[in-house]
Structure 1
Amino acid sequence: MPGDVPVERSRQVTPADDPTPSAWLWDLYFTVIAAAVAAAILLVAGAEPRNRAIALVALGAMVLVHLLIGRPLIVRDAEDLVSLSVVLLQIALFSVAIYHVPLSTWLMFAVIPMIFQTVPVRQAIPLVVGTNLVPVAVEYHVDPAGIGIDLVIAAISTGAGICMGLWIMRALEQSRERLRLIAELEASRAELGRLSHEAGVAAERARLAGEIHDTLAQGFTSIITLIQAADPALRDERLELAVRTARENLAESRALVAALSPTALASGTLPDAVRRQTLRFTEETGVPAPFRLTGDARDLPTRVEVVLLRAAQEALTNVRRHAGAREAAVVLAYAPDAVRLVVRDDGRGFDPAAADGYGLAGMRSRAAQVGGRLAVRSDPASGTTIELEIPA
């Protein structure tokens, strides 16, 4: 069928598409910091072998806890009691390492980001403050006289650590927001492609139905009329055969028109189809939408009826999706030289000049194909009125 073109499918956005650095980069950073501090512990002068061994064991335990427990929690963004427990365990192991080898303080470069990634900010900030006080407490235990400079260093480290942690959290939040927007964009793109495809197919079917109705069907009708005018009794067998063939082909062309027309029109008149659309709208949304018919209903060209029906469907869809209306109304008015469709609602309104996502361009395009005119009036105070008038 013409117009049946493939619709581009949207690629599903997954967590693997997150533009932030992969988890393994953070694992590498943590491991490199731990390895550097371990090397420093091995090389530092003055530390007893026993203290070095305990600090190295504590450091290795921190790496294992992170890789086996902490990392999955960070990936899942758990931020629960288990996450808090893991952070407290890491701080305890960090304290053990510092107590036995004060040089382990440099591991703070890995511990502070780990805290912010594992627990909520309201818990991370006091934990960072407490973590920075651990070296001060150790120094006070070893040499109380030098605690002043340690407090200054702890204050600077705490401020810098909190700022770095908040920056990390802000960057992660922006990345999550970008991922959410990408997912919404992909979904909107897929929906737009589907609607465009359906609209294109419907428009092509309506065009073909109109062409068949206006050319072949009318041509066969004219042939029958002319032959019967020349020989009303059809005494000539050849003329009688020609009339019978023309009538059969006229029936076929009408069947094609019916098959190409929307199913809502195939089972009744245009007013019946529009009335059914309003009833369905009310059933699905609970919003009252009375339908009113004025003038004398009459048969219209198929393509005109298709445009009017599609406009009613699109307008009611907009009310359902965007208006937030308490009431709507649909009017189908037949005049001697035109037919007019009006759809009103008392919703929030919108700016027609900036409304690209409301299907107005498609309605205007279809209206122009049959010589019609679409008018849109909308504001927050009075809602929206869509009026389509087609000469017929």
Structure 2
Amino acid sequence: MVAVAIAAAVLLADGYSVTERAVAVGSVTAMAVLYLSAARPLILIDHHGKRSMLVSVAYLLLFAVAVAGVPVTTWLMFMIIPLFFMLVSLRRAVALVLCANLIPVVLELRADPGGILIDLVIAAISTAAGLCIGVWITRMAEQSEQRAQLIAELEANRAEVARLSHEAGAAAERARLAGEIHDTLAQGFTSIITLLQAVDPDLKDERLALAVRTARENLAESRAMVAAFAPSALASASLPEAVRRSAARFTEEAGVPATVRITGAERGLPTRAEVVLLRAAQESLTNVRRHAGAREVAVLLAYSPDTVRLVVRDDGRGFDPGISGNFGLSGMRSRAADIGGALAIRSDADTGTTVELEIPA
């Protein structure tokens, strides 16, 4: 808008030749094109490097040419001074403003040395006003950026506090459910086993033996549920050690050998990620014990720079993952999705079942 207004003023001013008008209008037009093609894109990306300095120098040269042609184009300073402060650092912008205000003085000195005093006064006022406005705008922009950073940090801290509060609440609820299961179901199954064995210590009665086996299986399941709700194993051991203990307990309870292999560089993970991995291992082993009829199980915990992968493979009878109504698998999928992970299940009667969980960590 400034360029259009000044170009119109140049065309309407009296006392200048066609050549002088053409030079001045050409310089103003070049400034407008330079703004659209180079200055504006640099301002939008907040670039203060070499390219921005070259564009500023080009504005200074075009301004000198325009003023040399038609002095009324001195009003272009209203356009170029703000651009200097937006394009380059504060120190360089100050130097460019000083140069821009000296150009009309030098040109006037050549044309009319007698009027130099008033030109110097005008230049001094213009320089002071330009510097004050430019410095004030620069400081305001810096303060706005600092406020924006502070707001972003506060929002991030608020989100982190909300996440930690949610995790703390979920952990408390899991601990409560684990305590209730331990105090009711687990204790009840233990009492049933004790009472049945008191009636028939040798379990010669087939029905009593079946009842004891069923109670023991459900006792083991309730213990697994307690471990899943409140993974106390992670409180006293690392994730790899907790997985090894779960595999050892599985072997003790099911009589099926389970090997554990750890690859990659072990490292600490967020508690939420460790809980998801440990629960997936426990749930997979529980499913093998209950349904697979496997002869052996292999567990892999693989650390990579960006992810951690858990693989539980058995050689059991397999199943159709598409029609399985296993609540444990649904829970694994949900927990994996909550932390951006993915669960894959491959199973058939010939090769058994492979459960693979990969999470970013």
- Give the TM-score, by structure 2 length: 0.60
Does 2:223 correspond to 1:250?
no
- Partners of 2:54 and 2:207 in 1: CA distance: 99
Does 2:95 correspond to 1:106?
no
Q: 1:39 to 1:272 in 2, by over 3 A?
A: closer
- Partners of 2:237 and 2:3 in 1: CA distance: 76
User: Which of 82, 106, 118 pairs up with 1:137?
Assistant: 106
185-194 or 170-179, larger mean C-alpha shift = 185-194
Does 2:182 correspond to 1:213?
yes
Deviation at 1:112, TM superposition (A): 0.6
Runs of 5+ unmatched residues, structure 1: 1-31, 278-282, 286-392
Does 2:73 correspond to 1:73?
no
User: Which of 83, 90, 96 pairs up with 2:52?
Assistant: 83
1:9-61, CA deviations, whole angstroms, 9 ceiling, x for partnerless residues? xxxxxxxxxxxxxxxxxxxxxxx111111121122222222211110001001
Q: How does 1:1-150 map to 2 (within 5 A)?
A: 32-150=1-119
- Partners of 1:112 and 1:273 in 2: CA distance: 62
- Partners of 1:244 and 1:90 in 2: CA distance: 91
Deviation at 1:96, TM superposition (A): 1.2
Deviation at 1:155, TM superposition (A): 0.6
125-134 or 226-235, larger mean C-alpha shift = 226-235
Q: 1:271 to 1:191 in 2, by over 3 A?
A: closer
- Partners of 2:201 and 2:6 in 1: CA distance: 110
- Partners of 2:46 and 2:160 in 1: CA distance: 30
Aligned residue number for residue 352 of structure 1: none
Aligned-partner residue type, residue 48 of structure 1: S
SS in 2 for 1:195: helix
User: Which of 134, 141, 166 pairs up with 1:172?
Assistant: 141
SS in 1 for 2:15: coil
Aligned-partner residue type, residue 158 of structure 1: T
Aligned residue number for residue 233 of structure 2: 265
Aligned residue number for residue 191 of structure 2: 222
1:329-373, CA deviations, whole angstroms, 9 ceiling, x for partnerless residues? xxxxxxxxxxxxxxxxxxxxxxxxxxxxxxxxxxxxxxxxxxxxx
Report how many aligned residue pairs link the two structures.
245
Aligned-partner residue type, residue 66 of structure 1: Y
Deviation at 1:244, TM superposition (A): 4.2
Deviation at 1:66, TM superposition (A): 1.8
Deviation at 1:101, TM superposition (A): 1.1
Deviation at 1:129, TM superposition (A): 1.0
SS in 2 for 1:167: helix
Aligned residue number for residue 254 of structure 2: none
- Partners of 2:85 and 2:144 in 1: CA distance: 16
Q: How does 1:315-326 map to 2 (within 5 A)?
A: none
Q: 1:227 to 1:81 in 2, by over 3 A?
A: closer
SS in 2 for 1:112: helix
Aligned-partner residue type, residue 146 of structure 2: E
Does 2:135 correspond to 1:163?
no
Q: Rg bigger for which structure?
A: 2
1:100-137, CA deviations, whole angstroms, 9 ceiling, x for partnerless residues? 11111111111111111112111111211111111112
Q: How does 1:325-364 map to 2 (within 5 A)?
A: none
- Partners of 2:115 and 2:192 in 1: CA distance: 114
Aligned-partner residue type, residue 107 of structure 1: L
Deviation at 1:210, TM superposition (A): 1.7
- Partners of 1:84 and 1:243 in 2: CA distance: 86
Q: 1:214 to 1:36 in 2, by over 3 A?
A: same
Deviation at 1:231, TM superposition (A): 6.2
- Partners of 2:56 and 2:205 in 1: CA distance: 103
- Partners of 1:112 and 1:162 in 2: CA distance: 9
Deviation at 1:144, TM superposition (A): 1.8
Q: 1:213 to 1:72 in 2, by over 3 A?
A: same
- Partners of 2:14 and 2:20 in 1: CA distance: 12
- Give the TM-score, by structure 1 length: 0.55
1:58-96, CA deviations, whole angstroms, 9 ceiling, x for partnerless residues? 100111112212222223333233322221111111111
